[in-house]
């Protein structure tokens, strides 16, 4: 079993830190399936049906921005092989459509809208291509895929995410392409070294479902073998179905990184999780789902579990065939933003007194009031438990607590609890395991003037970077 000192040697890259700081970002699934009312096209679709006459990239991106999102990922090419940019390598693209007389470029317009609104831009490029005749040929197809990947990486500015879907359901044609992932990764690193390669890649892993389900304890330090989970055909998604989209995390996949889970592991990586789901049942727009947009409580629940559970949250919002987001989706995003602003606008730590008997003189408990990874609280000794007492300026009805570790130096906390003082008695209101980049704890119904955070177990000296205490919304 790796020692605690060995465990904390596994730390994030700068690109992984930047990705986690993005926290919440949009997925836009748009393409042939939008017009055929399907989820997975077969590559035989006629480009003439693609004609988003009211297309407005600024409407998409501003809706994401208004929801508090910090980035956008666009499905530049889905499994049907239709390209949302005028690629030089196939006629199966927007160049063969009536939209803007074949001179349109969805990728360009969305990327430029992101820059105007200050959001990061990312690309989804499915390796599976059901339209391309050379698919299944080995190197010839890899060359084709890399040529298109290079176009995207070199023509649309900075890219923060390259999302490589591992779907590989070959269907009746019997073609089988063994993707040369190593070449794909090298291409991304060459042209966009700051981009994270996600899902079927070395930087960010899929949480394990499409329903927005999350683990109670999400570790970023996990066995290196987890990076292979979706990258081989036999383990990839073989077909689209509702059961797959709605499945939850199984019990055998609940714990990926505790000391117990890492027994016998010799090769560890920093591999944080991304939670992805759609605001509707499907990933592409379907008119019959207009009344099935996730309600506000559902979005809040997923957000707290993901962004507040040491993961990131990628929410899909599928545009309609006219090129606009549906008003129901936009309204829900606006409601979410309103909740988030009200819930986290007033941090009571600004006027609080923070104290710990066990603190390093260079890393005081008072550092916890600043939301930065550059300063932190560190105990002087590893003697358990480590206690941090916070005295507020008044008695408050509490809403949410936020805890963060200085994850630049790995993930360390294994068990903690939160207590509040009532009539000179400390009452426990929450017990948890991991903290990581961020832990959001709903505590509505609790009143407190004094709050205590107790660390009961950690790998080596914990480094807490931030505590937020937010009152309940009026």
Runs of H (alpha helix) within 156-293:
181-191, 242-246
The per-residue pLDDT for 373 is 85
Mind listing the pLDDT tens digit for each residue in 419-433? 999 888 999 999 999
- Is residue 143 classed exposed, middle or buried when 0-12, 13-18 and 19+ CB atoms within 10 A define those classes? middle
- pLDDT classification of 210: cutoffs 50, 70, 90: confident
The per-residue pLDDT for 241 is 55
Average pLDDT of the segment spanning 185-189: 98
- pLDDT classification of 230: cutoffs 50, 70, 90: low
Report how far residue 87's alpha carbon sits from residue 47's, in angstroms, rounded to the nearest whole number.
14
In this structure, what token pair is assigned to residue 449?
Answer: 């003037």
Mind listing the pLDDT tens digit for each residue in 273-289? 999 999 999 999 999 99
Mind listing the pLDDT tens digit for each residue in 101-138? 999 999 999 999 999 999 999 999 999 999 999 999 99
Element spanning 275, H or E = strand 273-278
Report how far residue 271's alpha carbon sits from residue 160's, in angstroms, rounded to the nearest whole number.
16
What domains can be seen in the chain, in order of their start residue?
4-343 (3.20.20.80), 348-471 (2.60.120.260)
Q: What is the mean pLDDT of the chain?
A: 93
Give the Cα-Cα-Cα angle 91, 97, 102 (nearest 5 degrees).
85
Lowest pLDDT segment from 45-54, 87-96, 231-240, 270-279? 231-240
Average pLDDT of the segment spanning 437-450: 96
- Pick the closest to residue 199 from 110, 85, 311 (CA basis): 311
In this structure, what token pair is assigned to residue 151?
Answer: 């176009």
- Residue 341 sits at φ, ψ, to 5 deg, of -65, -45
CB 147 within 8 A of CB 89: yes
What are the distances in angstroms from CA 332 to CA 214, 274, 314, 328, 397? 21, 22, 16, 6, 27
């Amino acid at each position: 079993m790796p020692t605690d000192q060995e465990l904390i040697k596994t730390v994030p890259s700068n690109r992984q830190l930047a990705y986690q700081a993005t926290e919440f970002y949009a997925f836009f699934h748009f393409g042939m399936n939008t017009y055929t009312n399907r989820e997975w096209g077969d590559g035989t679709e006629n480009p003439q049906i693609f004609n988003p006459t009211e297309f407005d990239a600024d409407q998409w991106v501003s809706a994401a921005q208004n929801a508090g999102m910090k980035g956008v990922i666009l499905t530049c090419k889905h499994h049907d092989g239709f390209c949302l940019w005028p690629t030089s390598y196939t006629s199966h693209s927007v160049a063969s459509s009536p939209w803007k007389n074949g001179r349109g470029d969805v990728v360009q317009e969305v990327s430029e809208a992101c820059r105007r609104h200050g959001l990061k831009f990312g690309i989804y490029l499915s390796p599976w291509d059901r339209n391309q005749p050379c698919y299944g040929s080995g190197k010839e197809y890899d060359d084709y895929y890399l040529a298109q990947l290079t176009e995207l990486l070199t023509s649309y500015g900075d890219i923060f995410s390259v999302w490589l879907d591992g779907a590989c359901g070959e269907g009746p044609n019997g073609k089988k392409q063994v993707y040369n992932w190593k070449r794909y990764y090298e291409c991304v690193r060459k042209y966009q070294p700051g981009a994270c390669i996600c899902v079927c890649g070395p930087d960010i892993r899929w949480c394990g479902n499409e329903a927005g389900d999350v683990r109670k304890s999400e570790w970023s330090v996990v066995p290196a073998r987890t990076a292979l989970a979706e990258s081989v055909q036999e383990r990839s998604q073989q077909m689209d179905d509702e059961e797959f989209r709605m499945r939850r995390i199984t019990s055998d996949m609940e714990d990926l990184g505790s000391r117990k889970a890492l027994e016998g592991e010799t090769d560890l990586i920093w591999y944080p999780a991304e939670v992805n789901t759609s605001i509707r049942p499907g990933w592409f727009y379907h008119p019959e789902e207009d009344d099935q947009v996730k309600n506000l409580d559902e979005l809040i629940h997923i957000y707290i579990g993901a962004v507040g559970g040491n993961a990131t949250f990628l929410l899909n919002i599928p545009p309609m065939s006219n090129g606009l987001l549906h008003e129901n989706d936009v309204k829900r995003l606006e409601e979410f933003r309103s909740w988030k602003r009200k819930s986290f606008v007033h941090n009571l730590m600004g006027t609080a007194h923070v104290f710990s008997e066990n603190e390093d003189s260079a890393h005081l408990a008072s550092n916890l009031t600043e939301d930065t990874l550059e300063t932190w609280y560190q105990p002087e000794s590893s003697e358990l438990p480590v206690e941090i007492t916070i005295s507020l300026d008044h008695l408050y009805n509490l809403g949410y607590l936020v805890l963060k570790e200085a994850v630049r130096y790995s993930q360390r906390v294994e068990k903690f609890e939160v207590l509040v003082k009532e009539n000179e008695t400390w009452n426990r209101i929450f017990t948890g395991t991991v903290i990581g980049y961020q832990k959001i704890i709903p505590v509505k119904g609790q009143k407190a003037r004094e709050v205590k955070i107790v660390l009961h177990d950690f790998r080596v000296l914990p480094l807490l970077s931030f505590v937020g205490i937010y009152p309940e919304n009026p």
